[in-house]
A = this chain, B = another copy of it.
Amino acid sequence: MTDIFEVPSPDNNLLDKAEQLRLASIKTSQTNNNERIRALNLMADSLEKNSKEIIDSNFEDYKKAEIKGISKALLSRLKLSKEKLNLGIEGIRKVGDLSDPLGQIQIKKELSKGLILERKTVPIGVLGVIFESRPDAVMQISSLAIRAGNGVMLKGGSEANFTNQAIVSALKKGLQKSNIDDNAICLLTSRKDSMAMLNLEKFINLIIPRGSNELVKFIQENTGIPVLGHADGICHLYIDDEVNLDIALKVALDSKIQYPAACNAIETLLIHKSIAPAFLKKAIPIFNSNNVKLIGDKKAVKLGVAFEANYEDWQTEYLDLILSIKIVDDLEEGIAHIQKFSSKHTDGIITENISNANKFMSEIDSAGVFHNCSTRFADGFRYGFGAEVGISTQTLPPRGPVGLEGLVTYKYFLRGEGHSVDDFSSGKSIYTHKDL
Contacts and interface: CB of A to CB of B under 8 A. Distances in A.
B111 A361 contact: no
A258 B422 contact: yes
Interface string A411-436: 11111111111101100000101000
Nearest to A339: B26
A420 B125 contact: no
A115 interface: yes
A125 B395 contact: yes
A34 interface: no
A382 B111 contact: yes
Interface in A82-113: 109, 111
Given A374-B419, A420-B258, A431-B382, A368 B111 contact: no
A368 B244 contact: no
Interface in A171-207: 205-206
Contact of A412 (B367, B372, B376): B367
Interface stretch (A46-54, A56-64, A230-238, A247-255): A247-255
Q: Which of A109, A258, A419, A421 has the most CB of B within 10 A?
A: A421
A353 B187 CA distance: 39
A148 interface: no
Contact of A417 (B259, B372, B400, B416): B372
A378 to B, nearest CB: 7
A320 interface: no
A348 to B, nearest CB: 8
Contacts of A253: 420
A318 interface: no
B30 A362 contact: yes
B415 A372 contact: yes
A254 to B, nearest CB: 4
A418 B247 contact: yes
A151 to B, nearest CB: 12
A412 B339 CA distance: 17
Given A418-B251, A418-B373, A368 B258 contact: no
13 contacts: A26-B339, A26-B365, A29-B363, A30-B362, A111-B382, A122-B365, A247-B417, A254-B421, A368-B412, A372-B416, A372-B419, A395-B409, A397-B410
Closest 4 CB pairs of A and B: A373-B416, A254-B420, A247-B418, A384-B433
Interface of A: 26, 29-30, 109, 111, 115, 117, 119, 122, 124-125, 205-206, 226, 244, 246-247, 250-251, 253-254, 258-259, 339, 357, 361-363, 365-374, 376-378, 382-384, 394-397, 399-401, 409-422, 424-425, 431, 433
Given A254-B422, A378-B414, 5 more contacts: A205-B395, A247-B418, A368-B411, A399-B411, A401-B412
